[in-house]
Amino acid sequence: MATLTTATTNFADLVQEVIARSAEDELRASLPHLSPGNYVPGKIIKGTNLIRWARYADLAAQTTPLTEGAAPTAQSLTIASETLSVAQYGGVLELTELADLDSPHDMVAVNAERAGRQAALTMDTIVRDILAAGTNVKYAGTATSRATVASSMTLTGALVKRMFWFLKNANVPTFPDGTYHCIATPQQAYDLESDTANGGWMDIKKYTNVAINDLLSGEVGLYAGVRFMVSSSAKVFATAGVASADVHSAIFLGDAAYAVGDSQTLRSYFISPGGDHSDPIAQLAKIGWKVRFGSILLDEAGARYVRLESGATTL
């Protein structure tokens, strides 16, 4: 009878697939900063660690009448570019053959799943922090800076409408679905839904024109032309407000607000016991991952986002 072991052909490939699939599932399920459709994908410039996007500025209106018989002055486009550098991230888990042998659980599978989760969370967190560092910021209530945000200055329906029209006034394009998107904390979503003056919040179960497979990662509802994605991974500036209040970040996004690119897609690894020279008598298994990527806010031609910082009700 044939026995399945870690030495079985393609066993290592299966474990690597578990890591990659776990990361992929996590990205789709609960980490909205890397939700497909929220960002612009980029490609690496060969021979560098850079990814570049070109911007072509719009032409101003021509308000001066032409002179009869005279050709208008020739114009040229203004070209700008934005560049990000990518960096490599990764992690390794190690377990002994006895830990795997004596555990009531499949420790290789458990470690592979956790490695995948770590990879997904790492990438989402790095992108989140890029978005949280953007300078196009508004504040709730009467606050004029992060330090002046009080816990009582919560996210309201009126503020959402203000952010919607702020983006419209800046000519920020909506997503193809005709809406803006927002990534907010659970506390902010609670305050918005609890705002009895907002009138018009639509829970996802009431959607009539969005298929279930078209829902955004963590999406909970629609209000005033904004689709809301809620995640506990959304940025919170701990104790940064009045009286050490936590300041919560809700980022309102237009189409192509930020970009994500990689020069090395997510790779996963499994080394079975005895698979390398540091383990001569086959006592250790190693599971790991690595990726080389980066993110940037595309605001050379004007910000396509606005971050609203607010207080929030403690849950």
Side by side, which strands form the sheet with 87-96?
40-43, 258-271, 284-297, 87-96
pLDDT band for position 29 (cuts 50, 70, 90): very low
Give the pairing type, strands 180-184 and 202-203: unpaired
Q: Domain spanning 11-56+79-130+259-297 has what CATH number?
A: 3.30.2400
* For residues 279-302, average pLDDT: 86
Domain parsing of the chain, residue ranges: 11-56+79-130+259-297, 138-257+301-310
Per-residue pLDDT of 44-57, as tens digits, reads: 777 777 877 777 77
pLDDT at 27 over 60: no
User: Which candidate, 104, 86, 134, places its Cα nearest to that of 257?
Assistant: 134
CB count in 10 Å sphere of residue 57: 12
CA dist., res. 254 & res. 261, Å (int): 19
CA dist., res. 85 & res. 233, Å (int): 24
Per-residue pLDDT of 225-283, as tens digits, reads: 999 999 999 999 999 999 999 999 999 999 989 988 887 788 888 888 888 878 888 88
Contact call for residues 285 and 97 (beta carbons, < 8 A): yes
Per-residue pLDDT of 97-137, as tens digits, reads: 887 777 777 888 888 888 888 888 899 999 999 999 999 99
Global confidence as pTM:
0.81
